[in-house]
Amino acid sequence: MSILPLLRERLPDDIIVTDADLLASYAVDRAAWARAGVPACLVRARSTRDVQDVVQACIESGTPVVARGAGTGLSGGANALDGCVVLSLEAMNEVVAIDPVERTAVVQPGVINNDLRDAVAEHGLWYPPDPASSAWSTIGGNVATNAGGLCCVKYGVTREYVLGLELVNGRGEIVRVGRRTAKGVAGYDLTALMVGSEGTLGIVTEVTVRLLPARLPEITVAAHFDTLAQAGDAIAGVARAGIIPSVLELLDSFTLKVVDEWKNLGVSSEGNYMLLANTDLPGESGEREARALQEVFDAAGAGFTAIASDQEEVDALFAARRLAYFALERRGPVITEDVCVPKAKVPEMIRRLEEIAAGRGVYIATVAHAGDGNLHPCMPLPADASEELQQAALAAFDDIIDAAIELGGTVTGEHGVGLLKMRGLAKEAGPEVIAMQRAVKAALDPHGVLNPGKVVETA
């Protein structure tokens, strides 16, 4: 039986969408050139029961189901397959509960990251994971990709904050995994397994996260460098000095200029590269750490360093960092990378990026969560890019993955594997580990309907 009659038997008509234009807008995320199919329909779920009904109908008809939030992903993980059901969780956007005593929050997957942060701030609490898309991306999407962000260098990524999940599994059952207590080691850690699984092992319908006390004010140190090698040395120098900043971000002057052209923030750099570092230690400890960061930057050859005193300027700089990808994207498609290498290898990885750009004849814009070795080299292309230039950029994408693996790194630090990193994952993990991952997929999605063809290639 085809999927649409089954869905119409079980769901309200107003949450089933078949309009071709709307389907096209929900068929892709923001990953340039990641393939996408034409879905049979879109379902805008409003409850866990809706999600269960969709999964059960897809099992019965053998139809793939692809869950998505705001569609801000950069690896094609939420892209539609031909004939699939695209299951939007945007409307499930309630902050269900905030517990200031236990320092936890229970939220639905469609809650926007920044909205959760604002809600818990009213209770003197803080939710640390802060991807650059935090103003648009959803908690469900953050869980699906194990998102990181600017402050994960000190505070960790999404997996460190997810205590428990409600989800619909590959058998169409509503289950809960994890806990709401501060500690718990009962059985296998299925919660951690689900975080980062990109909707291939279950569809998350509720998330319990742990929270921290509201953070202290930060001090920002900015530095300009003439060369990327100098900036890389500064990043490695921070690690050697034993400093754990609350933020350490790298941007090149081209990216800052593109942001300024769009938003007129006044952030264009006089140097070719800029490092932004924050410390959130209290009082004199924070002042000492800020001075220590400045000394490391000076020792690496910075042309200019300063401890910021103008909060408006600081806010503009970090707004520019969050808008970097979107500003580049306004000029045309952007192929963006997400490799992560050991911190000591950052200078060498940066050198490899320069070699790859020169060898392939493409421009690589440098954006990075530099403090934890997570680099986001972006290759912006003109809208009318030739086939030759497109192929050169795609070849450079593969070169970057290979270089990261050679340096003991990983193919994705926070964007997920999706479609674009499957070859890289296979190379990084090796056949034995890929076989283990396939076995997990087969056990938890026995009917093969949950976002098939993503993350791990089928045997």
Report pLDDT for 182. 84
The residue count of the chain comes to 459
d(CA 314, CA 319): 9
Rounded to 5 degrees, what angle do the CA atoms 268, 272, 273 make? 85
Fold entry, domain 95-213 = 3.30.465
Q: In this structure, which CATH number among 1.10.540.10, 3.40.462.10, 3.40.50.1820, 3.40.50.920 belongs to the domain 219-406? A: 3.40.462.10
Report pLDDT for 459. 58
Report pLDDT for 32. 85
Give the single-character DSSP code of 98.
E
Q: How many CA atoms does the CB half-sphere of 152 hold within 13 Å?
A: 24
Letter for the amino acid at 423? R
Bridge partners for 210 per DSSP: 104
Judge whether 427 and 401 are in contact, CB under 8 Å.
yes
Judge whether 198 and 416 are in contact, CB under 8 Å.
yes
**Residue with the two structure tokens 């290498």:** 341
pLDDT in tens, the chain (459 residues): 699 999 999 999 999 999 999 999 999 999 988 999 999 999 999 999 999 999 999 999 999 999 999 999 999 999 999 999 999 999 999 999 999 999 999 999 999 999 999 999 999 999 999 999 999 999 999 999 999 999 999 999 999 999 999 999 999 999 999 998 888 899 999 999 999 999 999 999 999 999 999 999 999 999 999 998 899 999 999 999 999 999 999 999 899 899 999 998 888 877 899 999 999 999 999 999 999 999 999 999 999 999 998 888 888 888 988 999 999 999 889 999 999 999 889 999 999 999 999 999 999 998 999 999 999 999 999 989 999 999 999 999 999 999 999 999 999 999 999 999 999 999 999 999 999 999 999 999 999 999 999 999 765
d(CA 369, CA 248): 6
Report pLDDT for 112. 98
Domain 3-88 sits in CATH 3.30.1120.80: no
d(CA 96, CA 94): 6
Judge whether 250 and 350 are in contact, CB under 8 Å.
no
Burial class (CB in 10 A: 0-12, 13-18, 19+), 123: middle
Report pLDDT for 124. 98
Q: Do 219-406 and 95-213 have the same topology in CATH?
A: no
Report pLDDT for 270. 76
Domain ranges of the chain: 3-88, 95-213, 219-406
Dihedrals phi, psi of 135, to nearest 5 degrees: -75, -15
